[in-house]
């Protein structure tokens, strides 16, 4: 039989040491911050397009448009800073979202007027 009582120096109700658990933001490379933000934007846009699961009932094209435009601006502005190794997959994801948005829209935007296309140029399938 084991003693389930925590040692006296680690009481069960003690708060975790968050300082020890987190990295200082100054230690995080810029490319990691940029790609993490881009992935969050990409994921949120996909959910708002209803791409998160089959037969998803959640669709908010207005929110998706905002997220895709923000992603396009970030990817376009940072592409030369993060190298093509990191930018290429983000561009591919962005294009996929732009095409999914066009497909989900009842009245598609004119070429060049879709979400993010002011940064990327017209997107064609």
Phi-psi region of 79 (alpha: psi -120 to 50; beta: other; left: phi over 0): alpha
Read off the pLDDT band of 20 (50, 70, 90).
Answer: low
Read off the pLDDT band of 58 (50, 70, 90).
Answer: confident
pTM > 0.85? no
Residues 6+ apart with CB under 8 A from 111: 117, 122, 123, 124
Res 26: pLDDT: 83
The two tokens of residue 124 are 């064609």
The two tokens of residue 47 are 């959910």
Q: Within 13 Å, how many C-alpha atoms sit on residue 83's CB side?
A: 5
Inter-residue contact 105 to 96 (CB < 8 Å): no
Inter-residue contact 110 to 62 (CB < 8 Å): no
**Interval 71-118: pLDDT, tens:** 999 999 999 999 999 999 999 999 999 999 999 999 989 999 999 999
Dihedral sign (CA 79, 81, 82, 85): positive
């Amino acid at each position: 039989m084991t003693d389930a009582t925590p040692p006296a120096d680690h009481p069960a109700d003690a708060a975790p040491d968050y300082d020890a658990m987190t990295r200082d933001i100054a230690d995080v490379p810029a490319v990691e911050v940029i790609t993490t933000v881009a992935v969050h934007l990409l994921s949120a846009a996909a959910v708002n397009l209803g791409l998160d699961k089959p037969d998803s009932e959640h669709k908010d094209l207005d929110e998706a448009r905002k997220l895709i435009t923000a992603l396009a601006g970030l990817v376009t502005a940072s592409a030369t800073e993060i190298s093509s190794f990191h930018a290429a997959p983000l561009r591919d994801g962005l294009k996929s979202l732009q095409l999914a948005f066009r497909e989900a829209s009842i009245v598609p935007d004119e070429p060049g007027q879709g979400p993010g296309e002011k940064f990327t140029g017209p997107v064609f399938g």
